[in-house]
Structure 1
Amino acid sequence: MSTDLLTGTKALITGGSSGLGFAMAQALADAGATVLITARSPATLTEAQARLGHTAGRVHTLPMDVRDEHSIAQAVQWVQDYWGGLDLLVNNAGIGMRTVNPEFMTAPQPFYKVSAAGFRDLLDTNLTGYFLVAKAFAPMMVAQGHGKIVNISMNHETMRRQGFIPYGPSRAGAESLSLIMAEDLRKHTIDVNMLLPGGATATGMIPEEQRAALPSHFSLLSPSVMARPIVFLASEASNGITGQRIVATEFDAWLTQQQA
């Protein structure tokens, strides 16, 4: 991958201190982009930057809570002050089923046993958070006349699986949000797409003790599966591609179809 492909590109990734967000930040920085990763915890951001190695100089960190409009507004101001604009926003920050049921993989519980507080908390992060961050940065992109937004999603099976409330509905809602955002922003030449890994990933969403109890054939994808797709979506090669749902494990086939 060219280290100067994305030179001059400025990208922000929410939930960028670990998992898929960290893998995407690494990939973008490796391709020459300047990246801002946000997360709630300053400590995890410091740890993330220490793990970046030679790309650390192109990656900045900023504490931000996607559920807090004031916190998001401060991030918008940071981008405006230091960069003067934003080319790519990646909505990735999210929490998983373990927050409402730590044994969700081996002992799923029905929706009526999920607490209202647990339901609201997950939706506030995984769905409302996507809305609030995109709402805050979209005017900047509209004013500059270009931009790209990528909303991270998950397999449709997750949206139908037993015991996956509220995580499933949060991702289904994010997909509808993405499609409508794509239509709302199409006339402003701002592309909005969805990207998902294509399976469960080794990101900590599944507790270690739960992984040990899973069938031997159950394997987790590396977060690096997101690298090539996110670099493509950040590049000029993806200009005009909008409203797409891209599965990282099927990226090559999808790209061939787009180019046909």
Structure 2
Amino acid sequence: MTADQALEPAIRVRGIVKSFKDLQVLRGVDFDVTAGSIFALLGSNGAGKTTLVRILSTLLKADAGTATIHGFDVAAKPGEVRESISLTGQFAAIDEVLTGRENLVLVAKLRHLKNPGAIADDMLARFSLTEAGNRKATTYSGGMRRRLDIAMSLIGNPPIIFLDEPTTGLDPQARIEVWQTVKELARTGTTVLLTTQHLDEAEQLADRIAILHQGIIIQNGTLAELEQLLPPAKVEYIEKQPSLEDVFLALVGDTTVPAGKEAR
């Protein structure tokens, strides 16, 4: 990475516009993502989140505007961009016929990396999948499948990862497993752009949150900055009732999964 790349945001988006025939999906999107941070793009279904991720990951061309990823222009240098990123879509892209370890070895070979077996074993340990590594992926729980999917995305150590609604369809325990994984990615220096429609997910994970609505960013800031947009809270003393999620997690117990202790 050059000195200029080190000074730039990991992701810079300016004036991105995209339409599909008469439907204008993105109407001028602007934001920056600091290296090593978690940036949440929050919006309802149809807000344009996935379209924007596809543009940033070179799968789709914008009608107007510019974007740079890791210092590389998305339109001018798509090859360099693809070498700098990994994309995890809404549904786990794993081969269910293969074991977890075989999935990881396959990706390492496709990336022409040395010692694919050692890389696979390291990823299994890192994502608490060692004991399940020799089981077919079709036997994995939702949380395990998503963790395997993210592990596959990280082979080759891309500095930037896009997670497009990574907890879609997961139960509360699996969501927490994925959240812990995402936090660990940022802790070790990976830049994460996360799209979600879940307010609690953005609140739990993001260093900064941008709200995408009708094709534009209507607010962008830290959680504390966004909370200041509301009128001062009126203090009242009430008895807090547990949420259904609180009850569920209390009944099923601790959701933390020790390394190598996967459910069968």
TM range, smaller chain: under 0.3
More strand by share: 2
TM-score, reference length from structure 2: 0.26
More helix by share: 1
TM-score, reference length from structure 1: 0.26
Greater relative contact order, per chain length (Cα 8 Å cut-off, separation 6+): 2
